Structure 1
Amino acid sequence: WLETVEQVANMLAMNPYPGYEGQYFSMPTRNVVPKPVQKPHPPLWVACSNRDTIHLAAKLGIGALTFAFIDPAEAEHWVNDYYETIKTECVPIGHSVNANIAMVSSFSVHPDAAEAEARGGDGFRFFQYALGHHYAAGMHKPGRTNIWKAWEHVRDTWPPQGGEGGIGTPDELGEHLRIFSDCGVDQSVFIQQAGNNRHEHICESLEIFARDVMPEFKEFEAEREAKKQEELAPYIEEAFKRKAERNEMMAELSDDDIPTYGPYGFDVVASETQSESDFHHQGAEERAREQMERFEQMKKTANLAVELGATD
Structure 2
Amino acid sequence: MKISLFYEFPLPRPWSEDDEHQLFQHGLDEVEAADKAGFSSVWLTEHHFLEEYCHSTAPEMFLAAASQRTKDIRLGFGVMHLLPNINPPARIAERIATLDHLSNGRVEYGTGEGSSVAELGGFNVDPADKRAQWEEALEVSIRCMTEEPFTGFKGEHVEMPARNVVPKPLQKPHPPVWVACTRPSSVEMAAQKAIGALSFAYTGPEALKERVDGYYRDFAEQGAPITPAINPNILAIGGDLSMMVAKSDEEALKRLGIGGGFFSFGIMHYYLTGMHTPGRTKVWERYEEAVKEDPTLAYGPGRGAIGSPETVREFLRGYEASGVDEIILLLNPRSHEGTMESIEIMGKEILPEFIERDARAVAVKAKRLEPVIEKVEARRRPSEAPMFDETYSFGGLPTGRNKFTAGEIPEAMAEINEGRVKAAQLAKEKREAK
- Assess same fold via TM > 0.5: yes
Q: CA deviation at 1:159?
A: 6.3
Residue 342 (structure 2) pairs with residue 210 (structure 1): no
Q: Are the structure 2 counterparts of residues 251 and 20 from structure 1 closer, same or farther at C-alpha, using a change threshold of 3 Å?
A: closer
d(CA) in 2 for partners of 1:138, 1:221 = 41
Q: Are the structure 2 counterparts of residues 140 and 92 from structure 1 closer, same or farther at C-alpha, using a change threshold of 3 Å?
A: farther
d(CA) in 2 for partners of 1:233, 1:33 = 33
Residue 249 (structure 2) pairs with residue 113 (structure 1): yes
Q: CA deviation at 1:136?
A: 1.9
Q: CA deviation at 1:250?
A: 4.0
Which residue in the other structure is 1:260 paired with?
392
d(CA) in 1 for partners of 2:390, 2:295 = 60
1:170 pairs with one of 309, 322, 329:
309
1:200 pairs with one of 337, 352, 368:
337
Q: Are the structure 2 counterparts of residues 55 and 160 from structure 1 closer, same or farther at C-alpha, using a change threshold of 3 Å?
A: farther
Residue 375 (structure 2) pairs with residue 243 (structure 1): no
Which residue in the other structure is 1:182 paired with?
321
Q: Are the structure 2 counterparts of residues 237 and 3 from structure 1 closer, same or farther at C-alpha, using a change threshold of 3 Å?
A: farther
The one-character-per-residue Cα deviations of 1:202-239 (angstroms, maximum 9, x if unpaired) are 11101100110000011132221122123223323332
Structure 1 unaligned runs (5+)?
A: 279-312
Aligned alpha-carbon RMSD (Å):
2.5
Q: Are the structure 2 counterparts of residues 222 and 264 from structure 1 closer, same or farther at C-alpha, using a change threshold of 3 Å?
A: farther
**Is the Cα contact below 8 Å between 2:153 and 2:385 reproduced in 1?**
no
d(CA) in 2 for partners of 1:252, 1:22 = 13
The one-character-per-residue Cα deviations of 1:149-191 (angstroms, maximum 9, x if unpaired) are 1111111223646771311111211111112112111111111
**Is the Cα contact below 8 Å between 1:60 and 1:93 reproduced in 2?**
yes
Q: Are the structure 2 counterparts of residues 121 and 234 from structure 1 closer, same or farther at C-alpha, using a change threshold of 3 Å?
A: farther
**Matched pairs, number:** 267
Which residue in the other structure is 2:224 paired with?
91
Which residue in the other structure is 2:72 paired with?
none
Which residue in the other structure is 1:302 paired with?
none
**Is the Cα contact below 8 Å between 2:149 and 2:163 reproduced in 1?**
yes
Identity across matched positions, percent: 35
SS at match of 1:35: coil
Which residue in the other structure is 1:155 paired with?
291
Q: CA deviation at 1:135?
A: 2.1
**Is the Cα contact below 8 Å between 1:69 and 1:103 reproduced in 2?**
no
Structure possessing the higher radius of gyration over alpha carbons: 1
Q: CA deviation at 1:251?
A: 4.7
Residue 161 (structure 2) pairs with residue 36 (structure 1): no
Q: Are the structure 2 counterparts of residues 235 and 18 from structure 1 closer, same or farther at C-alpha, using a change threshold of 3 Å?
A: farther
SS at match of 2:304: coil
Residue 162 (structure 2) pairs with residue 26 (structure 1): no
Which residue in the other structure is 1:131 paired with?
267
1:226 pairs with one of 348, 360, 363:
363
d(CA) in 2 for partners of 1:157, 1:259 = 70
| TM superposition score normalised by structure 2 | 0.57
The one-character-per-residue Cα deviations of 1:88-114 (angstroms, maximum 9, x if unpaired) are 111223211211221122111111101
Q: CA deviation at 1:264?
A: 2.8
* Larger deviation, residues 232-241 vs 85-94: 232-241
Which residue in the other structure is 1:74 paired with?
207
**Is the Cα contact below 8 Å between 2:235 and 2:328 reproduced in 1?**
yes
d(CA) in 2 for partners of 1:240, 1:12 = 21
Which residue in the other structure is 1:296 paired with?
none
| TM superposition score normalised by structure 1 | 0.78
